């Protein structure tokens, strides 16, 4: 599996809401940045994804164009979701179901180590998903 295949498989696992598969594609010491005020470890990231899936059962990640340079994969990913349930992310206000459809095309950079994601940095598109829900 190429490094790009790992990143695409990770997006597919998240779209399928298969957090066990997503976890299997992260190193134990993976660092996820850009999705909150502080870096997250795999446990924190997956816990946040459970919350997103509960609030937005149709949450999906669609990879766009990617490029691979050694252990680094960069590309775009479009996140789409409809908030039909309560969203209660840590450190954010609890948002009751709104029925809002949200979408963001984000820039993603992955570092792959031994066939797993060791770092993931996301630069959210404008407006970010939470801003769309809170407007």
pLDDT band (50, 70, 90) for residue 36: confident
Residues with Cβ within 8 Å of 41's Cβ and at least 6 positions away in sequence, in order, are: 29, 30, 31, 32
Tell me the sheet residues that pair with 69: 72
Give counts: helices (H), strands (E), the chain. 4, 5
Residue tagged 């996140």 (tokens): 79
pLDDT band (50, 70, 90) for residue 9: very high
pLDDT band (50, 70, 90) for residue 91: confident
What is the rounded distance in angstroms from the CA atom of residue 2 to the CA atom of residue 58? 28
Residues 80, 64 contacting (CB under 8 angstroms): no
What average pLDDT score do residues 63-85 get?
97
Residue 78 pLDDT more than 90? yes
Per residue in 125-135, pLDDT (tens digit) is: 999 999 999 88
What average pLDDT score do residues 75-87 get?
97
pLDDT score at 37:
87
Q: List domains and CATH numbers for the chain.
A: 3-134 (3.10.450.50)
Please, what is the average pLDDT of the chain?
96
pLDDT band (50, 70, 90) for residue 1: confident
pLDDT score at 2:
96
Residue 101 pLDDT more than 90? yes
Q: Residues 80-112, buried b or exposed e (16+ Cβ, 10 A)?
A: bbbbbbebebeeeeebeebebebebebebbbbb
* Distances 48 to 4, 37, 52, 69, 114 between C-alpha atoms, Å: 24, 13, 6, 29, 25
pLDDT score at 120:
98
């Amino acid at each position: 599996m190429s490094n790009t295949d790992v990143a695409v498989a990770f997006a597919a696992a998240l779209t399928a809401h298969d957090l066990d598969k997503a976890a299997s594609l992260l190193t134990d010491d993976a660092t996820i940045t850009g999705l909150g005020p502080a870096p997250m470890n795999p446990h924190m990231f997956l816990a946040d994804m459970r919350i997103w899936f509960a609030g937005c059962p149709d949450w999906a990640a669609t990879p766009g164009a990617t490029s691979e340079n050694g252990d680094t994969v960069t590309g775009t990913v479009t996140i789409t979701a409809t908030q039909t349930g309560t969203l209660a992310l840590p450190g954010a206000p609890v948002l009751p179901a709104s029925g809002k459809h949200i979408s963001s095309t984000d820039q993603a950079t992955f570092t792959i180590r031994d066939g797993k994601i060791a770092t993931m940095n996301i630069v959210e598109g404008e407006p970010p998903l939470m801003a769309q829900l809170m407007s």
